[in-house]
Amino acid sequence: EPEVTQTPSHQVTQMGQEVILRCVPISNHLYFYWYRQILGQKVEFLVSFYNNEISEKSEIFDDQFSVERPDGSNFTLKIRSTKLEDSAMYFCASSATQRSGNTIYFGEGSWLTVV
Amino acid sequence: DAKTTQPNSMESNEEEPVHLPCNHSTISGTDYIHWYRQLPSQGPEYVIHGLTSNVNNRMASLAIAEDRKSSTLILHRATLRDAAVYYCIPHNNNDMRFGAGTRLTVKP
C-alpha cells in the first residue's frame, strides 16, 4: 500500500538553528499537509499546500515556518531559528483531493528535539 | 468546523466489541464524519468515514444517527493492537482538525 514517508525520524538541534523536515507524499496525491503534536497534546494543523502554494495555515504557522515542494516528489517544512517550544512530532500528510469524503494519509512523523 | 464531544477514555476487554461514541451536534449537511486513530508513537491512521448511511470496512463499522448529530465507531472484536486514541472528525472541503479524541485501552 502506498505510504507517506518522512525523514529524519528523529532530529536533535540547537536552539536558534534552522531545521528542514522532509516528506515524500503518495505519488498521485495533490494536496499536502503538515501537522505537529507536542508530547502529550493533540495533533495540531499547521499548513496545507496545493498547486505550489499555501492554501490554508493555522495561527501556529508564523513567519518562522515555511513549506516548499522543491521537486516533483518532496515536500519540506523549514523551521528557521528553532525555539525550545518547537520540540514536537511533525507529521506530513497527503490526499488526492480536498473533497469532504476524501482520506488523508499520514506519515510516521519526524520527532524534533530542540535543546 | 463542527464541534465534537468524545469520552476522554474507554476500556475494553480483548475480543469484545467496543462502541466509541461521538457527538457532533453542529455538523453541517455536507460534512462527512471521519474517524482516525493514533497508535502509540505513530501518525494518525484512517479508520472509516461516512455521510448518512452506516458504513462497514475491514477495520470497523460506523453507525450514524438519523439526524447526523452523533455517530458511533464499532470495533467488532477488540484486539490489543486496537489500543489507540480514536478521533471523530466532521470534515468538509477544508483542512482536517483533530480534537482530543478517546483513548481506548484494551485489556487482555
Predicted pLDDT at B1: 65
Residue A1 banded pLDDT, cuts 50, 70, 90: confident
Tens-place pLDDT, residues A44-58? 999 999 999 999 999
**What would the pLDDT profile of B7-54 be if each residue is shown by its tens digit?**
999 999 999 999 999 999 988 888 899 999 999 989 999 999 999 999
pLDDT given at position A73: 86
Question: Which pLDDT does position B88 carry in this prediction?
Answer: 96
Contacts across the A-B interface (CB distance below 8 Å)? 50
Q: Which residue has the higher pLDDT, B19 or A70?
A: B19
C-alpha cell at A21: 523536515
Average pLDDT, chain B: 93
Average pLDDT, chain A: 94
Q: Which residues pair with A56 in a beta bridge?
A: A48
- Checking if the pLDDT of A77 tops 80, the result is yes
Q: What pLDDT, on a 0 to 100 scale, did the predictor assign at position A92?
A: 98
CB within 8 Å: A42 and B99: yes
Report yes or no: A108 and A7 within 8 Å, Cβ to Cβ.
Answer: no
Range B79-108 average pLDDT = 92
Is the per-residue pLDDT at A32 higher than 70?
A: yes
Q: What is the 3-state secondary structure (H, E, C) of chain A?
A: CCCCEEECCEEEECCCCCEEEEEECCCCCCEEEEEEECCCCCCEEEEEEECCEEEEECCCCCCCEEEECCCCCCEEEEECCCCHHHCEEEEEEEECCCCCCCCCEECCCEEEEEC
- In this complex, do B46 and A100 lie within 8 Å of one another by their Cβ atoms? no
Contacts of A103 in chain B (CB under 8 A): 34, 46, 49
Contact B89, B27 (CB under 8 A): no
Who among A44, A56, A105 is closest to B94 (CB)? A56
Q: How far is B23 from chain A (nearest CA, A)?
A: 18
pLDDT at site B93: 67
Cα–Cα dist A6/A22, whole Å: 6
